[in-house]
Structure 1
Amino acid sequence: MPLHSRICDILSIQYPIVLAGMGGASVPRLAAAVSNAGGLGVLGAAACSPEELREWIREVRSLTDKPFGVDTLLPASVRRDPTDAAGAGKPSALELVSDYQAFADEFMRQEGLTKVARPRREPNVNDQGGPMFFSKEFFEEQMEVVVEEKVPVYAAGLGNPGPWMERMRENGTKVMAVIGSVKHALQVAAAGVDVVVAQGHDGGGHNSPIGTMALIPQVVDAMGGRVPVLGAGGIADGRGVAAAMMLGAEGAWVGTAFLATDEAGIQQFQKEVLVESGDADTVVSRSVTGKPARLVRNKWAQAWLDADKQPLPMPFQSMIAGPVLAAASHDQRKDIAPGFAGQGLGLIKAIRPAREVLNDLVSGAEQALAGAKQFT
């Protein structure tokens, strides 16, 4: 029986498979490939400047006439004054930046890394005097582009899109929100989102402290059928899609499986890492963005543990990690900059076209769901 749910009808897609909006990986060519194959391609635009985001949206439209989405971050912690987090007599995150940059410089010296020319997305004030990377102003300017470009689907990778719902609704934009707890699911549902993405601890990138198997059914119950749920976190093949649907989800939000594709925007050495790694080769760390995120084990994340040093909150940690990871990526250091990935890592066996991955997810899910009948 063909894989179908009301997710397909809401998003106007053939299959209820959605590409996770992975920063640096879910670029226009990958989003378009997934949409053209029958799923929903989503741009991982969290680190895009407003100008680049507009370019990406228009590039996707040149590559597909199918629906697609845009994923950015709206973390509440960034919307607050970062100095508020400092306790009485304690230095603020901003005051600690110099000390942490010295830590990063020493790490680079020990690893033989040399700073490269300032990357396009360096977390600092841009050349035109624009907003600081991952700041309140940065996120708000991105959302203006989302509204102005009237994107078909918007996904909040972190945070609540409530403040922009009315304007997006006027444009006919469907809205999703990635959540990691029942409490957050209820908040975004109250804001009027069309789809809730329940992403568990198994997932790559920013994720929940709650395991995927436990989170999905609890979120489904909390939604009570009013808002459909996509399952996410460690889903890397059709069996995972089927499992999420057996738990009550109506489709899947898939990331890691699409990282090892020809169209993914990450470097070739990072794709090779995915094929070479296994289920135990990821770790949750705040060393990259300042928020807990699952990534492939590496020396940069381990250095923070060894030094017993707490990373800075978002957006300041990105200012520390950015130059280090840019230098390591330039040198193709698999041991320092392998990238983000979920615990389904061990299911990745080869680098393939995105269409082939999508087709396998669909056929595998259909087979698994059909095979489940033998247990009744």
Structure 2
Amino acid sequence: MALHSRICEIFNIRYPIVLAGMGGASVPRLAAAVSNAGGLGILGAAACSPDELRAWIREVRSLTDKPFGVDTLLPASVRREVVDAGDATVDSGRPSPKELLGDCQAFAADFMRQEGLERVARPRDDAAAARGPAFFSKEFFEAQMEVVVEEKVPVYAAGLGNPGPWMARLRENGTKIMAVIGSVKHALQVAASGIDVVVAQGHDGGGHNSPIGTMALIPQVVDAMAGRIPVLGAGGITDGRGVAAAMMLGAEGAWVGTAFLATEEAGIQQFQKEVLVEYGDGDTMVSKSVTGKPARIIRNKWAQAWIDADKQPLPMPFQSMVAGPVLAAATDARRKDIAPGFAGQGMGLIKAIRPARDVLEGLVAGAEAALAGGERFR
């Protein structure tokens, strides 16, 4: 049984397998490798400056002549008013995020001292700190989108938020558009904008995800789309059986992240790839300690420290200013216990670090076998 669906026609790809746009991991060489293998590679460009994003897009084009995409964040909760709230209290009697920033940074500095971490200077971190809350602001996202439009990328994926305001300009370029959602309500909102594909990502997935489990979310979103817009299943899908399961629930393909983290081409550190092989299904947690939004990460001391101190992380984008120096230092020191990275609950299925092509071909072969094997239940 050949793995094929409307997703293949929409994106002009061989297999309905899409690389999740994972920040820091879905770099040009990984996106190109997935596209060259017959899937759709997506750049995880949320933290890229406009110049970096343009360079990434051009690098992918130098590595593949196949379709590819760009993923950025357009979270409704990160707007100009959130940044402005740094100068005044949001609610009477409650300090603003900016007023709490110093205390949280002191907490982070204490943590670093206790763990023997030394601050490291990194151009991107320093630039982000210099921009302050303007990083991950409305203006930041708009500047990224100008690059996406100007470069006429084949596919755009909104990792968070509704791409509606840019639809007309993207359509003029022939860009295909999808959005990652975590509820039926959000699916209906983005569908009304006229997007091509909805990505239903459940609670099982790594990174920012939904409070709704993958098995429950996919069929409800499929029903809500009523065949008008195809759905990609996402969240804990790490092998071909997961792809097949998503398709049996009504999805027409899969958006896959964690499985591609443990690849030679992924942009994360080697020690973080090793963690994916060594750890299992129970070694993840959902925490706001990295970005300020709930995200599934591999269990670590930094996230646990906030729980032990009964301390609330700041909202996006302020928490990134707190966590950034800690995680940069821990990454530089190769501390698996502090900076192991993001991962979904399917992590326990990863047994080795492999080329991205091998991972994609394994997903396809496993899905085809699982779907064909379903005949035995008839």
In the TM superposition, residue 120 of structure 1 has moved relative to its aligned partner by 1.7
State which of 152, 169, 175 in structure 2 corresponds to 1:173. Answer: 175
In the TM superposition, residue 130 of structure 1 has moved relative to its aligned partner by 9.7
The answer to whether the aligner puts 1:271 opposite 2:308 as a matched pair is no
TM-score, normalised on structure 1?
A: 0.98
- Which residue pairs with 2:102 in the alignment? 98
- Which residue pairs with 2:54 in the alignment? 54
AA partner of residue 20 (structure 1): A
Which secondary structure state, in structure 2, belongs to the residue aligned with residue 191 of structure 1?
A: coil
In the TM superposition, residue 60 of structure 1 has moved relative to its aligned partner by 0.0
- Which residue pairs with 2:26 in the alignment? 26
State which of 145, 148, 151 in structure 2 corresponds to 1:149. Answer: 151
AA partner of residue 90 (structure 1): R
Which secondary structure state, in structure 1, belongs to the residue aligned with residue 192 of structure 2?
A: helix
- Contact 1:122–1:319 (8 Å) recurs in 2: no
- Which residue pairs with 2:261 in the alignment? 259
- Contact 1:123–1:319 (8 Å) recurs in 2: no
Q: 1:99 and 1:20 mapped to 2: Cα distance?
A: 35
- Classify 1:85/1:156 alpha carbon distance in 2 versus 1 (closer, same or farther; 3 Å): farther
Matches within 5 A, 1:290-369: 290-369=292-371
- Contact 1:241–1:251 (8 Å) recurs in 2: yes
Which secondary structure state, in structure 2, belongs to the residue aligned with residue 42 of structure 1?
A: strand
After superposition, the C-alpha distances for 1:45-104 in whole angstroms (9 at most, x for unaligned) are 001011000000000000000000000000001025122883212110011111110000
AA partner of residue 111 (structure 2): F
- Which residue pairs with 1:108 in the alignment? 112
AA partner of residue 337 (structure 1): A
Q: 1:346 and 1:329 mapped to 2: Cα distance?
A: 22
In the TM superposition, residue 119 of structure 1 has moved relative to its aligned partner by 4.0
The answer to whether the aligner puts 1:236 opposite 2:238 as a matched pair is yes
In the TM superposition, residue 118 of structure 1 has moved relative to its aligned partner by 3.1
Q: 1:307 and 1:94 mapped to 2: Cα distance?
A: 20
- Which residue pairs with 2:136 in the alignment? 134
AA partner of residue 140 (structure 2): F
After superposition, the C-alpha distances for 1:196-216 in whole angstroms (9 at most, x for unaligned) are 000000000000000000000
Which secondary structure state, in structure 2, belongs to the residue aligned with residue 78 of structure 1?
A: coil
After superposition, the C-alpha distances for 1:235-271 in whole angstroms (9 at most, x for unaligned) are 0000000000000000000000000000000000000
Percent of aligned pairs sharing the same letter: 82
- Classify 1:122/1:367 alpha carbon distance in 2 versus 1 (closer, same or farther; 3 Å): farther
- Contact 1:49–1:121 (8 Å) recurs in 2: no
In the TM superposition, residue 26 of structure 1 has moved relative to its aligned partner by 0.2
Matches within 5 A, 1:38-49: 38-49=38-49
* Unpaired stretches in structure 2, ≥5 consecutive residues: none
After superposition, the C-alpha distances for 1:116-155 in whole angstroms (9 at most, x for unaligned) are 01342457355xx798321111111111100110000000
- Contact 2:129–2:321 (8 Å) recurs in 1: no
- Classify 1:222/1:249 alpha carbon distance in 2 versus 1 (closer, same or farther; 3 Å): same
The answer to whether the aligner puts 1:64 opposite 2:68 as a matched pair is no
Q: 1:335 and 1:219 mapped to 2: Cα distance?
A: 37
Q: 1:49 and 1:125 mapped to 2: Cα distance?
A: 13
- Contact 1:35–1:64 (8 Å) recurs in 2: yes
Q: 1:283 and 1:96 mapped to 2: Cα distance?
A: 25
Which secondary structure state, in structure 1, belongs to the residue aligned with residue 267 of structure 2?
A: coil
Q: 1:302 and 1:86 mapped to 2: Cα distance?
A: 28
* Unpaired stretches in structure 1, ≥5 consecutive residues: none
- Which residue pairs with 1:183 in the alignment? 185
Q: 2:248 and 2:19 mapped to 1: Cα distance?
A: 20
- Classify 1:364/1:35 alpha carbon distance in 2 versus 1 (closer, same or farther; 3 Å): same
Give the length in aligned residue pairs: 374
In the TM superposition, residue 43 of structure 1 has moved relative to its aligned partner by 0.2
- Contact 2:125–2:325 (8 Å) recurs in 1: no
- Contact 1:119–1:326 (8 Å) recurs in 2: no
- Classify 1:299/1:162 alpha carbon distance in 2 versus 1 (closer, same or farther; 3 Å): same
In the TM superposition, residue 347 of structure 1 has moved relative to its aligned partner by 0.2
Q: 1:130 and 1:28 mapped to 2: Cα distance?
A: 27
Q: 2:139 and 2:20 mapped to 1: Cα distance?
A: 24
Q: 1:356 and 1:303 mapped to 2: Cα distance?
A: 38
Q: 2:166 and 2:296 mapped to 1: Cα distance?
A: 28
Q: 1:195 and 1:58 mapped to 2: Cα distance?
A: 24
